[in-house]
Amino acid sequence: DTAVSQTPKYLVTQMGNDKSIKCEQNLGHDTMYWYKQDSKKFLKIMFSYNNKELIINETVPNRFSPKSPDKAHLNLHINSLELGDSAVYFCASSQGTGFYEQYFGPGTRLTVT
Amino acid sequence: GENVGLHLPTLSVQEGDNSIINCAYSNSASDYFIWYKQESGKGPQFIIDIRSNMDKRQGQRVTVLLNKTVKHLSLQIAATQPGDSAVYFCAENTGGFKTIFGAGTRLFVKA
């Protein structure tokens, strides 16, 4: 059984388009995250939700909007895509905030042309 | 701060040797540290963690050492195997909400 799943795995789109990435976890975790990994492998947190409430919102353009319909899902919608948005986006979950490791999804490679 | 760790150095080791991956963290208030392994095309995977009230923790073939005096973390892998080839990230957590990842270290294992 896949613990944290993301769809799609690959996403190729043109500048200016709007796209969404979906994430689901079946671990019963309370906390979910979105990370962006650039071409140099640097992993940076974008958002975190705890029990469907936004608790971390890093300096991310407001073109990025997360949505958590329930504790098991955290989706990421991106408006007006730009070349610089090209990266691998990872969803993760943890049992809670604090001293808990995070479980990562397989990633979504977004390429903006 | 935002710059935990080194800027993706590379470590090359012979199969069967021990590996040591180092990490410097910047926030003395961090109280929880984690090592993750990322294989090509996959998401990071938890390896081992340590809280700030400890200085050493052992797992299966892995040991994490924490030196709070110099804000240094290391991951030791015993008898390194080809399957250990990956990028390794240290991460720190302060106050329970935000985890900051280092830049990662690429480990190559030569057969």
Which tens digit of pLDDT belongs to each residue from B30-44?
999 999 999 999 999
pLDDT at B4: 54
Query: Chain-centre distance of CA B39, in angstroms?
Result: 14
- On chain A, the residues whose CB falls within 8 A of the CB of B98 are 45, 48, 56
| Residue B6 pLDDT > 50 | no
Q: What percentage of chain B carries pLDDT values higher than 70?
A: 93
Determine the residue among A39, A89, A94, A102 to mutate to test chain B binding: the one whose Cβ has the most chain B Cβ atoms within 10 Å.
Answer: A102
Tokens for B42, please give them.
């996959």
Which tens digit of pLDDT belongs to each residue from B71-81?
999 999 999 99
Interface membership of B96 toward A (CB under 8 Å): yes
Tell me if B8 and A98 make a contact (CB, 8 A cut-off): no
Q: How far apart are CA B43 and CA B58, in angstroms?
A: 23
Which residues have a Cβ under 8 Å from the Cβ of A107 and sit 6 or more positions away?
A: A6, A9, A37, A88, A89, A90, B41, B42, B43
How far apart are the CA of A49 and the nearest CA of chain B, in angstroms? 10
Tell me if B104 and A45 make a contact (CB, 8 A cut-off): no
- On chain B, the residues whose CB falls within 8 A of the CB of A107 are 41-43
Give the range among A39-53, A72-86, B49-63 with minimum mean pLDDT: A39-53
Q: Is B1 exposed, middle or buried (0-12, 13-18, 19+ CB in 10 A)?
A: exposed
**Residues A70-89, mean pLDDT to the nearest whole number:** 97
Mean residue pLDDT of chain A comes to 94
Pick from B8, B43, B99: CB nearest A90: B43
| Residue B29 pLDDT > 60 | yes
Give the 3-state secondary structure of residue B69. coil
| Residue B7 pLDDT > 90 | no
Tell me if B32 and A99 make a contact (CB, 8 A cut-off): yes
Reported confidence tier of residue B95, pLDDT bands at 50, 70, 90: confident
Element (H, E) at B6: none
Tell me if B38 and A41 make a contact (CB, 8 A cut-off): yes
pLDDT at A111: 98
**Residues B78-96, mean pLDDT to the nearest whole number:** 93
pLDDT at A105: 98
- On chain A, the residues whose CB falls within 8 A of the CB of B41 are 106-107
pLDDT at A101: 92
Residue with tokens 């990322």: B38
